[in-house]
Amino acid sequence: MTQELFTINNLWILVATILVFIMHLGFAALEAGLTRAKNTINILFKNTIIPAIGLLTYAFVGFNLMYPGEIFAGGVLVLEA
């Protein structure tokens, strides 16, 4: 894969991620409008925690699955002793 294609793919992933975060803002506004005033804080907190958990999960698991590094050679995990 060329460097340009790698950059374009990562840029597309970044744009898609930004669109998902904007979508979460829309969900937060919708759910806050449909709940009672006393439950609005709980709904907004839930809609803040869900992307935060997703980001942490990606940082610890997803990134390593996308870019496994040198120990993952040719599709077979190689553990060197």
32-63 residue pLDDT tens: 899 898 999 998 898 889 889 988 998 888 88
**Integer Cα distance of 43 and 30 in angstroms:** 10
Domain residue spans of the chain: 3-77
Q: Are 29 and 43 in contact (CB under 8 A)?
A: no
| Three-class secondary structure of residue 73 per DSSP | strand
**Integer Cα distance of 36 and 16 in angstroms:** 32
Helix (H) or strand (E) holding 72: strand 72-73
pTM here is: 0.59
Residue 48 neighbours by CB under 8 Å, 6+ apart: 28
Look at residue 19 and tell me whether its pLDDT is greater than 80: yes
